[in-house]
Structure 1
Amino acid sequence: MLGSGTMGAQIALSLALGGFDIRLWGRRAEALPDAMDRVGAAFDFLAEAGLAEPGNRPLVLSRIKATSDLEEAVCDAGFVIEAVAEDIAVKQSLLGAAETHAASDAVLSSTTSALSATEIQSSLARPDRFCVAHYAQPAHLVELVEVVPGQQTAAGVTEFVTRLLTDTGKTPVLCPDIPGFLWARIQHAVLREFASLVGQGLVTAEACDTILKVGYASRLPAMGAFEHADLAGLDLINSAAAKAVWADLSNVMDPGDTPVGELYEQGHLGMESGHGFYDWTQRDPGTFRMQRDAEIIRRIKIRRQDAG
């Protein structure tokens, strides 16, 4: 596991819970104790929620060894995944260095959410041994992982990554190597439409989020977009009313042309700066994240109960 930040620690824990031995690599040795503390805290959160057995804590954490030595981290690894800055040059440099120390049959991966798998692998000596595995945050909770092979990825490598994710309790979905894959495209499509409406003064951010959370999202666990289309009837989806909606949807090409860009230009970055669409000096980001995670856990428990 290359990268000892939030995502790296969460992915390391997910893999360790699946029974794998992990070397968690970070550039700065002095930062590794904090990374291991994050792993431990994440395990404790799962245990408190009933998603991990408290008595297994020593065993699971013993599977994760932290190191700042890249060669030591990857020399005998079968699977190497990076979770560093979302910068293609940084990712290519790190993966290229890891490739020189890894076994020739090791599979390399990235948890990028949007960078092209084909472009990342283009700088590798063995591009056929690379495949994206995009974990969504929080990686130790969200069950879905996008599997994105590049143009040169060997079929066996895609199968290996898919099987590894399944073996660690994840739900892998094969996605095309297009900007944003599938997850981010949905996220940006929703935000583009809502940001456009807010920018036109038609609605508030609060109204949009309420519609999404209390309304639309409430049925998503039971019904996807195509299932809904079939349920409603494709004749209705082709009706004049539906065509009017499609024609009126936002097609803005740059987030800078919406309130997203306006806020950014004003120095408002969201939770990081204290202001975005909401005033985060009046809302506690830590409490928000805890409530988010609690809802994800509630949904996981429902799915597992339904699965028997």
Structure 2
Amino acid sequence: MKNIVVIGAGTMGNGIAHTFAQSGFQVSLVDVKQENLDRAIKTITTNLDRIIAKGNLTEEEKTSTLGNITTFTDLKDAAPKADLIVEAATENLDLKLRIFGQMDELSPAHCILATNTSSISITQIAAATKRPEKVIGMHFMNPVPIMKLVEIIKGYSTSKETFDEIFELSKKLGKVPTEVNDYPGFVANRILMPMINEAIETLYNGVAGVEEIDTVMKLGMAHPMGPLQLADFIGLDVCLAILNVMYEGFKNPKYAPNPLLVNMVMAGKKGVKSGEGFYDYSESKKAEKVSKMFLK
């Protein structure tokens, strides 16, 4: 396995491309907009510079990593030589089904089709292809170049050969792969998202403020980041999408997203990516509570 295609140049996509490229793989990064690709390469370059500053990478290795990445705006130009395609598009089922149909049509028969979905059924995604035995979940954690965990999720038809190959490949990336079965939210988000949702519920009910809730979880539970700050970092729209998938999948009210989260996303308050969420990132990343407007 030498040629990797990554679909989506956003936060997760550029991180996945960075990780594969730094491990010596030839990476084709695909996005529908050239501006997204340009931004992704800039982000990867900045992140490589940070690694160099810490003494964990040389300038030569940075040059080699960037040289391993080629960008495309059309999947049909990248897919024909792919050994593995990793889809890292928005957490939207219809979009993923369309992309997987294209991946299946355009890639060679031996190519494994993986998704970085954080909650959607691998079995359902695989049904959009004619090679369900070669469809698998590779759920990387953000930031991808730093976080060690990769959830490896088998669909109903995923073959043992496909699973074993992706499991070993993840080790070659310096990751710790963990086998997970195909249920909504898998393990990471099935546990994490209800906690984030409960933190939002706590704020919504006026039990404590944003910084106070995060302080309790950081100092009392030894979490490196409070749940509301983490939600901002993940993206409130992503949190909402995952909770909706879990709510639909389990039909359990404990997964129903809090109204405050729904309102914030509708208002465009998506966290770090929009410059504003539970904290204000627009002015020197000064922590300011912005959710009070929804509590009136």
TM-score (norm 2): 0.77
Instruction: Measure the CA separation in 2 of the matches of 1:68 and 1:266.
Output: 30
Q: Is the Cα–Cα contact under 8 Å of residues 118 and 152 in structure 1 kept in the other structure?
A: yes
**Inter-CA distance 177–285: structure 2 relative to 1 (3 Å threshold):** farther
Instruction: Measure the CA separation in 2 of the matches of 1:281 and 1:34.
Output: 19
Counterpart position of 1:231: none
Q: Is the Cα–Cα contact under 8 Å of residues 218 and 224 in structure 2 kept in the other structure?
A: no
Instruction: Measure the CA separation in 1 of the matches of 2:14 and 2:255.
Output: 35
What pairs with 1:257-268 in structure 2 (closer than 5 Å)?
A: 257=259, 259-261=260-262, 263-264=264-265, 268=269
What pairs with 1:1-308 in structure 2 (closer than 5 Å)?
A: 1-29=6-34, 31-217=36-222, 252-257=254-259, 259-261=260-262, 263-264=264-265, 268-271=269-272, 275-281=276-282, 284=285
Of residues 271-280 and 190-199 in structure 1, the stretch that sits farther from structure 2 once superposed is 271-280
* Alignment gaps of 5+ in structure 1: 221-250, 287-308
User: Offset at 1:80?
Assistant: 0.7
The amino acid across from 1:46 in the alignment is I
Q: Is the Cα–Cα contact under 8 Å of residues 136 and 152 in structure 2 kept in the other structure?
A: yes
Q: What CA deviation, in whole Å up to 9, does each residue of 1:48-103 have, x standing for no partner?
A: 22332333112121111112232331212111101112111111211211222211
Instruction: Measure the CA separation in 2 of the matches of 1:157 and 1:196.
Output: 41
Percent identical = 27
User: Offset at 1:283?
Assistant: 5.6
Q: Is the Cα–Cα contact under 8 Å of residues 19 and 168 in structure 1 kept in the other structure?
A: no
The amino acid across from 1:50 in the alignment is G
The amino acid across from 1:47 in the alignment is I
Q: What CA deviation, in whole Å up to 9, does each residue of 1:235-272 have, x standing for no partner?
A: xxxxxxxxxxxxxxxx7442235x43454566644445
**Inter-CA distance 34–269: structure 2 relative to 1 (3 Å threshold):** closer
**Inter-CA distance 271–58: structure 2 relative to 1 (3 Å threshold):** closer
Structure 1 or 2, whichever has the larger Rg, is 1
**Inter-CA distance 119–281: structure 2 relative to 1 (3 Å threshold):** same
TM-score (norm 1): 0.74
Q: Is the Cα–Cα contact under 8 Å of residues 131 and 148 in structure 1 kept in the other structure?
A: yes
Q: Is the Cα–Cα contact under 8 Å of residues 126 and 155 in structure 2 kept in the other structure?
A: yes
